[in-house]
């Protein structure tokens, strides 16, 4: 190899290392693996943005295709056989519930006289990406169905940019109420006293909102007995909680990306992102943000000192952009379940809330756990000091993390003991 080739190789390797390198907290195990995952995501986002600017494709749909291609590649690499410990007898059906596409997993066990558990699952992806049919979600659906003798219904609600809030919520509400109808529960031999709603990230947001909706809707005779929320998104009024500030540049879900997801979901202009990051949308001038409403997400009183650390609240005096009028969905409890009043929370089912230290959404989950407890709801808080956003989806080689495996096992154990 000539000197020129050596120099070019070294420069390319250095450039690649610089691109991939993203400093990780010391507690993160296998940091280079997480850096590689993060670099892959950023590459997909950057390529999608390039296509969008060139007028080739919408950046969201372009990135979706990239994700689907990656998912198909992983399935091909891992083979078509089911994951270890999963009985291939689980029946999988792609149908619709009240017009909403769902994937239903029916366990091989059970039968006449043996009522089973039921679980409605809502996938994550910033209300813009993902599908319950993707590899990681499909694996978990099969595992829960098989190991816990559960009929799992994974909902493929509509996404941005095809629809905006509240359509994804309405899709999930329609599917949930259909699932909870006596006729459907009887069809699948599900015990009406053992039905859960669960979801991760944006799906955790929808799961919490649906749990509130069903709990307060007198026309729904069967209620969810538990809600299991995995690093849920629960509010959009404070993007300067300790976890948002601490993890603002963290892999997988940095703060600016989460704020962009919110703006997209609520149909607002992405150019408003800096205003939301500065908390101008929750400025003191807004009379609608009463002290009582602000108390519902006041992390200075809802978090323990362990999580507050030395961070200080960021409170703006004035909002020169009229953000609450431009984005009314910011105050809608269907988008921000943490804003629900105590009388609503008191009716909600007992809860499991999983949070991770290295996640901008950590404090959302911790505050919700505290507010549910204060309302008299039984809550199990499952916190991972070495966890990061999305870790539950990384449990299969070569993108497997020990914290993801532990989190998945503990989540399933809680369902087994509480559902």
Going from N- to C-terminal start, the domains of the chain cover 29-80, 91-235+331-418
**Integer Cα distance of 109 and 206 in angstroms:** 30
Predicted confidence at residue 21, as pLDDT, reads 62
Query: What tokens does 117 get?
Result: 């558990």
pLDDT, residue 14, reads 39
Between CA 90 and CA 212 the distance in angstroms is 31
CB 330 within 8 A of CB 297: no
Element holding 365 (H helix, E strand):
helix 362-374
Question: Distance between alpha carbon 142 and the CA centroid of its chain, in Å?
Answer: 19
pLDDT at 381: 98
Please give the chain's pLDDT, 419 residues, in tens.
565 544 444 344 334 444 556 788 989 888 889 988 888 777 766 675 666 567 666 767 776 777 666 555 545 544 444 444 445 689 999 999 999 999 999 998 654 458 999 999 999 999 999 999 998 999 999 999 999 999 999 999 999 999 999 999 999 999 999 999 999 999 999 999 999 999 999 999 999 999 999 999 999 999 999 999 999 999 999 999 999 999 999 999 999 999 999 999 999 999 999 999 999 999 999 999 999 999 999 999 999 999 999 999 999 999 988 999 999 999 999 999 999 999 999 999 999 999 999 999 999 999 999 999 999 999 999 999 999 999 999 998 888 999 999 999 999 999 999 99
**161 phi and psi angles, rounded to 5 deg:** -90, 0
Query: What pLDDT is recorded for position 396?
Result: 85
DSSP line for 201-246:
THHHHHHHHHHHHHHH-TT--S--SEEEEES----SS-S-SHHHHH
CATH topology for 91-235+331-418? Rossmann fold (3.40.50)
What positions carry a catalytic annotation? 201, 359, 389
Give the Å distances, CA to CA, from 198 to 118, 141, 182, 272, 308.
11, 11, 20, 31, 27
Distance of alpha carbon 278 from alpha carbon 315, whole angstroms: 8
Q: Return the pLDDT at 50.
A: 67
User: Coil, strand or helix: which one is 92?
Assistant: strand
């Amino acid at each position: 190899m000539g000197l020129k080739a050596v120099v070019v190789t070294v420069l390319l390797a250095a450039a690649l290392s610089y691109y991939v390198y993203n400093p990780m907290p010391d507690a993160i195990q296998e940091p280079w693996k997480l850096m590689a995952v993060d670099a892959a995501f950023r590459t997909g986002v950057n390529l999608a943005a390039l296509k969008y600017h060139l007028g080739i494709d919408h950046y969201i749909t372009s990135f979706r295709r990239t994700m689907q291609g990656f998912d198909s590649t992983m399935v091909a690499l891992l083979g078509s056989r089911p994951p270890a410990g999963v009985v291939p007898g689980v029946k999988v059906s792609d149908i619709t519930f009240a017009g909403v596409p769902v994937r239903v997993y029916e366990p091989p066990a059970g039968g006449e006289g043996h009522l089973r558990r039921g679980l409605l699952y809502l996938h994550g992806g910033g209300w813009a990406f993902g599908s319950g049919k993707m590899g990681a979600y499909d694996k978990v659906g099969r595992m829960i169905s098989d190991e816990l003798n559960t009929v799992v219904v994974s909902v493929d609600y509509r996404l941005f940019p095809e629809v905006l809030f509240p359509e994804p919520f309405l899709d999930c509400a329609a599917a949930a109420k259909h699932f909870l109808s006596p006729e459907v529960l009887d069809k699948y031999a599900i015990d009406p006293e053992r039905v859960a709603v669960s979801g991760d990230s944006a799906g955790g947001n929808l799961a919490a909102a649906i749990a509130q909706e069903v709990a307060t809707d007198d026309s729904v005779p069967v209620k969810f007995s538990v809600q299991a929320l995995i690093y849920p998104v629960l509010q959009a009024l404070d993007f300067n909680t300790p976890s948002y500030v601490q993890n603002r540049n963290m892999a997988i879900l940095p703060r600016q990306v989460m704020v962009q997801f919110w703006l997209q979901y609520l149909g607002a202009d992405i150019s408003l992102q800096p205003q939301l990051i500065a908390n101008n949308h929750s400025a003191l001038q807004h009379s609608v943000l009463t002290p009582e409403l602000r108390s519902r997400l006041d992390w200075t009183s809802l978090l323990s000192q362990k999580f507050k650390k030395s961070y200080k609240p960021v409170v703006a005096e004035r909002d020169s952009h009229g953000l609450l009028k431009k984005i009314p969905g910011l105050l809608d409890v269907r988008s921000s379940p943490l804003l629900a009043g105590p009388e609503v929370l008191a009716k909600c089912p007992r809860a499991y809330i999983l949070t991770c230290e290295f996640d901008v959404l950590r404090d959302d989950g911790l505050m919700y756990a505290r507010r549910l407890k204060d309302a008299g709801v039984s809550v199990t808080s499952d916190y991972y000091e070495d966890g990061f956003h999305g870790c539950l989806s990384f449990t299969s080689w070569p993108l497997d993390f020990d914290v993801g495996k532990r989190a998945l096992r503990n989540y399933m154990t809680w369902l087994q003991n509480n559902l």
